[in-house]
């Protein structure tokens, strides 16, 4: 997976991608097994409520894991999907299916902040170190919770936009071109601009 000359959320993706990569002689270093963090009282209470932001997030992740894009779309902020375009957002979510299949989300804390709820999660899988991410959810105008921004999607979007641009330029290239890198960064900036802009 390419990510070069990138910052922010992409840096986290690089760390997850490179962790456990080949060492001397091309051997793969074993991944250190880490225990999930203990859940806060707020997280435990939220997970008992099937209509909470935390429970909504886990349902969203289950749909990502089975590639149910029509359902996945209903969980995300409509303004974000509209700004990125259904093809770009859908492609990003489809690219995350393999990760979602092999990665469990451990929700360890839930915090009420201005405008919505922040859900803090750990990614737990057998072949990568434990990662930490955040999801921001807002109460929908008509139905349930909607995800407005999250660091997993941010990293996946940047990688997907970069790869799509490189496919158009030179799919056989060993390293990404500057145009591909810029396409990934542009997609990430648009995502943040729309998702984090005040109403």
- 16: pLDDT strictly greater than 80: no
CA neighbours closer than 13 Å in the CB half-sphere of residue 17: 14
Task: Could you list the beta-strand ranges (E) of the chain.
Answer: 104-113, 116-125, 128-139, 145-150
pLDDT confidence band for 32 (50 / 70 / 90): low
Q: Sort 188 into a burial class: Cβ within 10 Å, 0-12 / 13-18 / 19+.
A: buried
Distance of CA 114 to the CA centre of its chain: 22
Beta bridge pairs of residue 139:
145
DSSP-derived letter for residue 25 is: G
Q: For 77-136, how does the pLDDT look when each residue is reduced to its tens digit (9 = 90+)?
A: 999 999 999 999 999 999 999 999 999 999 999 999 999 999 999 999 988 899 999 999
Output the six-digit token pair for 1: 């997976």
Q: For 126-171, how does the pLDDT look when each residue is reduced to its tens digit (9 = 90+)?
A: 888 999 999 999 997 667 899 999 999 999 999 999 999 999 999 9
Q: Are 124 and 104 in contact (CB under 8 A)?
A: yes
CA neighbours closer than 13 Å in the CB half-sphere of residue 59: 18
Residues ≥6 apart with Cβ < 8 Å to 138: 77, 115, 116, 117, 145, 146, 148
pTM of the model: 0.81
- Distance between CA atoms of 67 and 60, rounded to whole angstroms? 11
Cβ neighbour number for residue 177 with a 10 Å cutoff: 16
């Amino acid at each position: 997976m390419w990510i070069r000359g990138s910052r922010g959320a992409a840096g986290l993706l690089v760390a997850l991608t490179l962790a456990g990569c080949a060492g001397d002689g091309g051997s793969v270093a074993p991944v250190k097994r880490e225990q999930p963090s203990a859940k806060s009282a707020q997280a435990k209470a939220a997970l008992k409520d099937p209509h909470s932001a935390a429970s909504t997030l886990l349902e969203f992740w289950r749909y990502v894991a089975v590639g149910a894009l029509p359902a996945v779309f209903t969980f995300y902020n409509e303004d974000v999907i509209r700004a990125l375009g259904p093809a770009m957002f859908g492609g990003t979510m489809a690219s995350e299916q393999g990760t979602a299949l092999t990665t469990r989300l451990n929700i360890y804390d839930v915090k009420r902040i201005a405008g919505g709820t922040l859900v803090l999660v750990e990614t737990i899988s057998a072949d990568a170190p434990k990662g930490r991410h955040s999801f921001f959810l807002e109460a929908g105008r008509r139905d349930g919770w909607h995800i407005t921004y999250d660091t997993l999607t941010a990293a996946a979007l940047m990688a997907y936009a970069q790869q799509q641009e490189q496919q158009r330029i030179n799919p056989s290239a060993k390293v990404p071109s500057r145009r591909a890198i810029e396409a990934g960064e542009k997609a990430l900036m648009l995502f943040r601009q729309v998702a984090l802009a005040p109403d």
